Amino acid sequence: MFPGIDNCTIDPLVIVYLNVTQNITLCFDDVIQIYYDNNLTGSYIVGNETYNDRLYYYQQVSMAITYYIFYDEVKRYWRINDKL
Protein backbone atom coordinates (compact mmCIF):
# COMPACT_ATOMS: atom_id res chain seq x y z
CA MET A 1 0.00 0.00 0.00
CA PHE A 2 1.01 3.56 -0.65
CA PRO A 3 0.80 6.13 2.11
CA GLY A 4 -2.53 7.94 2.03
CA ILE A 5 -4.13 5.50 -0.44
CA ASP A 6 -6.48 2.90 1.00
CA ASN A 7 -7.04 0.87 -2.16
CA CYS A 8 -5.10 1.59 -5.33
CA THR A 9 -6.69 -1.16 -7.42
CA ILE A 10 -10.23 -1.87 -8.56
CA ASP A 11 -11.70 -5.25 -7.78
CA PRO A 12 -11.99 -7.00 -11.17
CA LEU A 13 -15.43 -8.31 -10.18
CA VAL A 14 -16.80 -4.78 -9.90
CA ILE A 15 -18.19 -3.68 -13.26
CA VAL A 16 -18.98 -0.04 -13.93
CA TYR A 17 -21.56 0.53 -16.65
CA LEU A 18 -21.34 3.98 -18.17
CA ASN A 19 -23.49 5.31 -20.98
CA VAL A 20 -25.80 2.31 -21.02
CA THR A 21 -28.95 2.54 -23.11
CA GLN A 22 -31.77 2.49 -20.56
CA ASN A 23 -34.51 1.38 -22.94
CA ILE A 24 -34.77 0.27 -26.52
CA THR A 25 -37.57 -0.65 -28.91
CA LEU A 26 -37.02 -3.88 -30.81
CA CYS A 27 -39.03 -5.18 -33.75
CA PHE A 28 -39.01 -8.87 -34.64
CA ASP A 29 -40.12 -9.99 -38.09
CA ASP A 30 -39.90 -13.74 -38.58
CA VAL A 31 -41.61 -13.72 -42.02
CA ILE A 32 -44.54 -15.69 -40.54
CA GLN A 33 -45.72 -12.85 -38.28
CA ILE A 34 -45.26 -9.21 -39.17
CA TYR A 35 -43.36 -7.21 -36.57
CA TYR A 36 -46.32 -5.51 -34.90
CA ASP A 37 -48.04 -8.87 -34.31
CA ASN A 38 -44.93 -10.55 -32.89
CA ASN A 39 -45.08 -10.95 -29.09
CA LEU A 40 -41.37 -10.15 -28.75
CA THR A 41 -41.69 -6.75 -30.43
CA GLY A 42 -41.80 -3.86 -28.00
CA SER A 43 -39.91 -1.64 -25.60
CA TYR A 44 -37.24 -3.28 -23.43
CA ILE A 45 -35.85 -1.69 -20.26
CA VAL A 46 -32.46 -2.36 -18.68
CA GLY A 47 -32.71 -4.45 -15.50
CA ASN A 48 -31.69 -3.11 -12.08
CA GLU A 49 -29.29 -5.98 -11.45
CA THR A 50 -27.05 -8.23 -13.54
CA TYR A 51 -27.42 -11.76 -14.82
CA ASN A 52 -24.16 -13.74 -15.14
CA ASP A 53 -22.33 -10.48 -14.34
CA ARG A 54 -23.89 -8.69 -17.33
CA LEU A 55 -26.77 -6.30 -17.77
CA TYR A 56 -29.99 -7.61 -19.25
CA TYR A 57 -33.12 -6.05 -20.73
CA TYR A 58 -36.72 -7.02 -20.06
CA GLN A 59 -40.20 -6.37 -21.38
CA GLN A 60 -43.20 -7.00 -19.14
CA VAL A 61 -45.99 -7.95 -21.53
CA SER A 62 -48.52 -8.72 -18.80
CA MET A 63 -48.56 -9.55 -15.09
CA ALA A 64 -47.78 -13.17 -16.03
CA ILE A 65 -45.41 -12.73 -18.99
CA THR A 66 -41.99 -11.06 -19.02
CA TYR A 67 -39.39 -11.47 -21.77
CA TYR A 68 -35.68 -11.12 -21.03
CA ILE A 69 -32.83 -10.40 -23.43
CA PHE A 70 -29.42 -11.36 -22.12
CA TYR A 71 -26.00 -12.33 -23.38
CA ASP A 72 -25.11 -16.02 -23.06
CA GLU A 73 -21.36 -16.09 -22.56
CA VAL A 74 -21.10 -19.86 -23.12
CA LYS A 75 -22.96 -19.79 -26.44
CA ARG A 76 -21.64 -16.30 -27.24
CA TYR A 77 -24.84 -14.70 -28.49
CA TRP A 78 -27.84 -12.78 -27.20
CA ARG A 79 -30.80 -14.87 -26.05
CA ILE A 80 -34.48 -14.11 -25.53
CA ASN A 81 -36.33 -16.11 -22.91
CA ASP A 82 -39.27 -15.83 -20.55
CA LYS A 83 -37.01 -16.49 -17.53
CA LEU A 84 -33.48 -15.63 -16.48
Answer whether 70's CB lies under 8 Å from 52's CB. yes
Confidence of residue 28 (pLDDT cuts 50, 70, 90): confident
b/e sequence 35-57, b meaning 16+ C-beta within 10 Å: eeeeebbbebeebeeeeeeebbb
Quote the CA–CA distance of 51 and 60 in Å, as a whole number: 17
Which among 3, 83, 14, 77 has a CA at the least distance from the CA of 47?
A: 83
Residues 42-65 have pLDDT tens digits of: 999 999 888 988 889 999 988 999
Q: Where are the domains of the chain?
A: 23-81
Distance CA 71, CA 84 (A): 11
pTM: 0.69
